[in-house]
Structure 1
Amino acid sequence: MEKRKLTVAVTGLNNTDNPGPGIPVVRGIRESQRLEARILGLAYENLEPGIYMPDMLDKAYMIPYPSSGTETYLDRIREIHEKDPIDLIIPNLDAELYTFMKAEKKLKELGIRTFLPTLAQFEERHKANLNEFGEKYGLKVPKSKTLTGYGDIRKIKDEFEFPLLVKGKFYDAYIAYNEEQIINHYNKISAKWGLPVIVQEFIKGTEVNVTALGDGEGETVAAVAMRKQFITDKGKAWSGITVSDKEMLRLTNDLIAKTKWRGAMELEMIKTNSGEYFMIEINPRIPAWVYLAVGAGQNIPEALVRLATGESVSPMTSYKVGKMFIRYSWDMLGDIEEFEQLSMFGEIEK
């Protein structure tokens, strides 16, 4: 089979203890038997480890943060596209997805494709809207409430039992055992991610996740279930194992069918000791542990590229159970010349 040649740009190269999905996405595309991709890394910081990892990127470019404004952001994408024509961009960070969804038509006019949820799909699954989302789609969700000021915090003890979770609108989740801890977490999260901050009922049980891909017409193209084995202090999976769980996959297929979800998603659930499933979060993107799905037999990054470029992709309905991943850290050596080139010129050839 002759491989299709194309250029794919990827964000989320921050492979630290709070890793982005960028490098796992690249690994999936690199391992494709159907695609021969030139990979461009789009980085927000010049010390994102993914920039310097060998055999991952063909070229790296610095881009401004989405907070710089949509036009400034798009101007830089256009500039890169003129030098290095891009067929597809896969954004991998929550904070940038809104910008890319708003700019989808402009990017398409340039010849750059994306494969993302609609704005309506993106908005309705926000953590702040999870109660309404659960009601609409028949999902059990923990009780939650948005906080926009200290006055809201004072009411919490009358509405929730401790412990409870305090979450940012994009990232971060902390357990609070009293009102003082809620205030501390609220200050930390709001300073970093802005308002609202979400308080959520703490559900006891096992944390399980599904990474999935919807075709936008209601079909589940891929879905792999995983149980977290080890969780960091940031709430990230440092180790996980694929599991056979028909109910988790049924919930996933049902949700994708009802929402007609377009693109990748991660469903975070708690399975209680009594066997109930509570949906605690829906992330509208590929998760950082997606390479486990690739290793288990469902190459979600490859499938997303194919769908984005107009191919028909048959649903993947099985995967290896008991496949495990373990993250680790190591010291990667590089040369100052690469760092200087990226800092001075905003790009680096790999």
Structure 2
Amino acid sequence: MEKPKFNIAVTGLNNTDNPGPGIPVIRGLKESKDFDVRIIGLAYENLEPGIYMRDLVDKTYQIPYPSSGKEAVLERIEYINSKENLDFIIPNLDAELYTFIQSKEKLEKMGIRTFLPSMQQFEERHKANLNEYGDKYGIKVPFSKSITNRRDIEELKEDFEYPLLVKGKFYDAYLAYTPEQVNTHFNKISAKWGLPVIIQEFIRGTEVNVIALGDGHGNTVGAVPMRKQYITDKGKAWGGITIQDNKMLDLTKSLIKQTKWRGGMELELIKTNQNEYFLIEINPRIPAWVYLAVAAGQNLPEAMIKLAFGMDVPNYSEYEVGKMFIRYSYDLIGDIAQFGSLSVTGEM
């Protein structure tokens, strides 16, 4: 019996020291034994490394930034679809998700499926809403407060002890030991990601993460916990190892059951010396370390496609403990003609 073949568009090809999830997602899809894929890369910049990985990305198109507006993005997707007959899109960056969640029906009319959280699921887990989220779902969270003005910084001493964390609404987190450092980080984050900027209580402990996939009905298709072993100056895991932690898994499954989460997610947690877990962030999409889960026995990108197309989906209950990943730098060699093609025509 011939395997089905899907044309799948994937974003997040920025596989640098602040890596996007696109390339590891593609690696998982390419390893499926139940379907074949043609990968269409969707890039924002013409130097995103994934564009030039010809063994992984079959064709690349440049797309406008989400800040250009939903209609501009959809118009470009419509053009790409006319050329590539897309079956599915996997957006891998937080800032894109508003557009793709809101455009679900329009994409389906084009014949393109997605498997994303609802707008309510996406909105309520924002860092700015974390206190309310913890109360609602019975999860410990660090105390957080949103600020929109530098004048608010002086008042932080009433609610926080230093050090504290300064976070952007989409990305970036910095530890600050003084109000002056908060001011510096506030300026940097607000210029890059806009307002509000989130101030969060600093919890001492070990950072641990869980990648998971929810089916949209309260069931956890798969979940793999990991401990970061090496962290870059951007706070990104450059090395990690799968761990056995039933408490983390129970917390994840409980959250997915209560929220009926649909799609991929990453829980970022702090495990204290008292064996307590504090949820510091929920990333509402597949994280960049997803290939560790694939290597440990849970191909979550493949399972997502199966869910979307009504194929038999494995109920992953096990994974290999002690599986490690280590990122590395590698020089991709391309040609100026490739760069020129993308710059002039918007495709390669």
Common fold, TM-score beyond 0.5?
yes
Letter in 1 for 2:270: I
- Structure-2 residue corresponding to 1:59: 59
Q: TM-score, normalised by structure 2?
A: 0.99
Q: Secondary structure in 2 aligned to 1:3?
A: coil
- Structure-2 residue corresponding to 1:33: 33
- Structure-2 residue corresponding to 1:105: 105
Letter in 2 for 1:66: P
Letter in 1 for 2:99: T
Letter in 1 for 2:200: Q
Question: Whole-Å Cα distance in 2 between the matches of residues 53 and 238 of structure 1?
Answer: 20
- The 5 A counterparts of 1:1-350 are 2-348=2-348
Question: Whole-Å Cα distance in 1 between the matches of residues 245 and 2 of structure 2?
Answer: 36
Question: Whole-Å Cα distance in 2 between the matches of residues 312 and 182 of structure 1?
Answer: 50
State the shift of 1:314 in Å: 3.1
Letter in 1 for 2:255: L
Question: Whole-Å Cα distance in 1 between the matches of residues 28 and 275 of structure 2?
Answer: 33
Post-superposition CA distance 1:255-299 (Å, at most 9, x none): 000000000000000000110000000000000000000000000
Question: Whole-Å Cα distance in 2 between the matches of residues 58 and 39 of structure 1?
Answer: 5
Letter in 1 for 2:199: V
Question: Whole-Å Cα distance in 2 between the matches of residues 312 and 331 of structure 1?
Answer: 39
Kept after mapping to 2: 8 A contact 1:295/1:323:
yes
Letter in 1 for 2:147: L
RMSD of equivalent CA atoms: 0.8
Kept after mapping to 2: 8 A contact 1:10/1:90:
yes
State the shift of 1:157 in Å: 1.2
State the shift of 1:43 in Å: 0.2
Question: Whole-Å Cα distance in 2 between the matches of residues 109 and 26 of structure 1?
Answer: 25
Q: Secondary structure in 2 aligned to 1:347?
A: coil
State the shift of 1:159 in Å: 1.0
Post-superposition CA distance 1:90-125 (Å, at most 9, x none): 000000001000000100111000000000000000
Question: Whole-Å Cα distance in 1 between the matches of residues 315 and 216 of structure 2?
Answer: 13
Letter in 2 for 1:326: I
Post-superposition CA distance 1:129-162 (Å, at most 9, x none): 0000000000000000001001211110121000
Question: Whole-Å Cα distance in 1 between the matches of residues 49 and 99 of structure 2?
Answer: 24
User: Aligned pair count?
Assistant: 348
Question: Whole-Å Cα distance in 2 between the matches of residues 223 and 184 of structure 1?
Answer: 37
Kept after mapping to 2: 8 A contact 1:87/1:111:
yes
State the shift of 1:330 in Å: 1.7
Question: Whole-Å Cα distance in 2 between the matches of residues 89 and 108 of structure 1?
Answer: 11
| Ranges of 4+ aligned residues in structure 1 off by more than 2 Å | none
Question: Whole-Å Cα distance in 2 between the matches of residues 150 and 140 of structure 1?
Answer: 28
Q: Secondary structure in 1 aligned to 2:153?
A: helix
Question: Whole-Å Cα distance in 2 between the matches of residues 3 and 190 of structure 1?
Answer: 48
State the shift of 1:310 in Å: 2.4
Kept after mapping to 2: 8 A contact 1:23/1:50:
yes
Letter in 2 for 1:72: A
Letter in 2 for 1:39: I
Question: Structure 1: which 5+ runs fail to align?
Answer: none
Q: Secondary structure in 2 aligned to 1:16?
A: coil
Q: Label 1:312 to 1:260 Cα distance change in 2 as closer, same or farther (>3 A).
A: farther
Moved more, 6-15 or 329-338: 329-338
Question: Whole-Å Cα distance in 1 between the matches of residues 154 and 33 of structure 2?
Answer: 56
State the shift of 1:315 in Å: 1.5
Q: TM-score, normalised by structure 1?
A: 0.98
Question: Whole-Å Cα distance in 2 between the matches of residues 334 and 118 of structure 1?
Answer: 39
Q: Secondary structure in 2 aligned to 1:338?
A: helix
Letter in 2 for 1:254: S
Question: Whole-Å Cα distance in 1 between the matches of residues 262 and 311 of structure 2?
Answer: 14
